[in-house]
A and B are shown apart, each in its own frame.
Chain A
Amino acid sequence: MYIYLYDSFLKDGKHKPQLSAYENRLTDFGIFGKIVRITRFTNPHRIIEDEARRGAKTIVMVGNDDTFARVISRAADVKGLTFGFLPVGENNSVSELLGIPQGVEACDVLARRRIEKLDVGTFNDRFFFRRISMVGNAFDLVCEDKYAIGPQGRESEVEICNLGVPSWIDEPTPGMLKPQDGKFTMFMRPSKKSFFGTKFIKPSMVQVKKIRAKFARPVVVSVDGVTSKEKHMEVQVSRKKFKIIVGKERKF
């Protein structure tokens, strides 16, 4: 049984034609199912658990990157389910990484059910799928409980990536895009401020499974696009925990 989680922004009339096209195509394939509408204040974990108890096997998120992040952050650990995604509107970089095109072809991908088990990360008390970003200068990140890595007094951008790479990498190598290897790729790019502006120093790149850090002052951390201030962080990978339907054109 398929459950479709519709994000609240889809109520906007401009998305109606695309939604109708999706619904017609899914009905043709015989995979259309119950629609559940979610908002920013909905607890997706509770909804998905309830539907799983009633026999749901596939949860399809309909929306954008924000929808995807909100559902996964709370519900990635619900057992026995396969997730799918139908992109609508703008801000849809996740669908590109997963090989899910915009338009009714996304329904074809869903119908084909090419399932991959991907790694998912935990950040403190929630899950993340793509990356964690932060900027700071007074921190040491303890990796694997064995060594500490940090910028030498310089302000640095740090990105811990499970799927995708930082925006300042133009051509990612295949080794950088591996969401099934049980590791994150951590990038650290120190910067140097001068009279002429900010220059960036050669970035560092490390493969890690576990990172923890305590910050002297709260640091702004962005987890899959959701921003918060944190005084400590514990990041760990859960290998191949998350089943999702992907397309042939995926980036990994």
Chain B
Amino acid sequence: MSEEEYTPLSSGQDDVETIVGPSVKVEGDFVSKGNVVIEGMVSGSVKTDKNLRVEEGACINANVKAENVRVAGEVKGNVQVKGLLELTESARVLGDVQTKTLVVAAGATLHGNCVMDEERAAKTPKRGRAKIEVEEDAEVEFEEERELELA
């Protein structure tokens, strides 16, 4: 969307608390409790309790934390999402992402680690080895390897 073409501020924005328009720059720790739309430049950190939309042409040079995030612009930083992270075809994310659900459109760019569903990852049994002390010259018979359930 070019700078000149825009819909009026009040159109379809009933539930949006913050809009950072094009040609506006935000620097620092930005915190909000409502829905946020970013169309300009943000550097520092961005945190909201609700949804975040990064529109095409927007550039965020910050770590991001939100309930749900939709990215159509550029994010250089880590993205931490409690619910859904959606990357559209014009999205560029350069950083680690952590989310419960991930939707990536064809053409989106993601450079970084991706961690999903931390609760499920924590429940998966891990392989481990028990420490055994053996006296010198003792004979030891090994049984087949067993998986240990770690708490």
Contact = CB atoms under 8 A, between A and B. Distances in A.
Interface in B1-32: 3-4, 6, 8-11, 13-32
A173 B7 CA distance: 14
B30 A147 contact: yes
Nearest to A199: B4
A151 B9 CA distance: 17
Contact of B3 (A169, A187, A192, A205): A192
A35 to B, nearest CB: 42
A170 B9 CA distance: 9
A207 B28 contact: no
Contacts of A30: none
B34 interface: yes
A55 interface: no
Nearest to B18: A206
B10 A170 contact: yes
B24 A148 contact: no
Interface residues of A, number: 30
Interface in A152-206: 152, 154, 169-176, 187-188, 190, 192, 199, 201-206
A21 B140 CA distance: 110
Interface in A20-52: none
B25 A146 contact: no
A205 B18 contact: yes
B50 to A, nearest CB: 13
B39 interface: yes
B40 interface: yes
Contact of A146 (B14, B24, B30): B30
A152 B41 contact: yes
B34 A202 contact: no
B39 A147 contact: no
Interface of A: 140, 144, 146-152, 154, 169-176, 187-188, 190, 192, 199, 201-207
CB-CB nearest 10 A-B residue pairs: A147-B28, A202-B6, A204-B21, A202-B21, A190-B23, A204-B24, A205-B19, A171-B10, A146-B29, A201-B3
Interface of B: 3-4, 6, 8-11, 13-32, 34, 39-41, 44
11 contacts: A144-B31, A169-B9, A171-B8, A174-B14, A190-B21, A202-B3, A202-B39, A203-B19, A205-B9, A206-B19, A206-B20
Given A146-B30, A148-B27, 20 more contacts: A147-B26, A147-B27, A149-B24, A149-B26, A150-B25, A152-B25, A152-B40, A169-B8, A171-B8, A172-B10, A173-B14, A174-B14, A175-B15, A175-B16, A187-B9, A188-B21, A190-B24, A192-B4, A204-B21, A207-B32
